[in-house]
Structures are given as C-alpha cells and as structure tokens.
Amino acid sequence: MLPGEPIPDPGWRGLWYFRYASMKTRRIRKSDGRYLILYEFPAPKTGPTTDVPQAGVAAPGAATAKVAAKPRPKR
C-alpha cells in the first residue's frame, strides 16, 4: 500500500481463501480422543516453481474482494 492510500477494510475473512486446489486432508481420531490431520498433496509439477518472484497481483477472483462482508459464524 502506498503512503496516503486508504487502507482497504478486509473485514473478517477467516472462512474463505483460495485453498491449494489439490490439498486433501484425512482426519483420524486417536485412541485417547485427540485428533490427527494428515495433509496430502499431489506430486509436484515440473517446470518453474515457487522461488521465482512473481508479480504481486492477485489471481483472478482472489480472496480479497469476495468476503469482506462475511460474518463470523456462530456455533
């Protein structure tokens, strides 16, 4: 954000973000009642990867605009 530029109000976005598309989770309840979550990812693709600096431009439809008004869930 540039000096003087108004700060966007992101609101509460705890519910939404663009998740790694292929990430899978497997939840296991252990014998003593505690939970275990196993995260599984697809095999890495070939080609340029993460440490190539990319333009800091949000991907189309990125989380920033969509969820500003999302209320906090009540349970």
Q: Is 54 a residue that touches other proteins (CB under 8 A)?
A: yes
Q: Which residue has the tokens 């705890």?
A: 14
Q: Is 69 a residue that touches other proteins (CB under 8 A)?
A: no
Can you say how many angstroms the Cα of residue 47 is from the centroid of all Cα atoms in its chain? 23
Closest CA to 71 of 13, 27, 6: 13
Residues of this chain, 7-26, that bind other proteins according to CB under 8 A = 7-20, 23, 25
Q: Is 65 a residue that touches other proteins (CB under 8 A)?
A: no
The DSSP element (H or E) to which 66 belongs, if any, is helix 63-66
The residues of the shown chain that bind other proteins, judged by CB under 8 A, are 1-4, 6-20, 23, 25, 28, 30, 32, 34-41, 44, 48-59, 62-64, 72-75
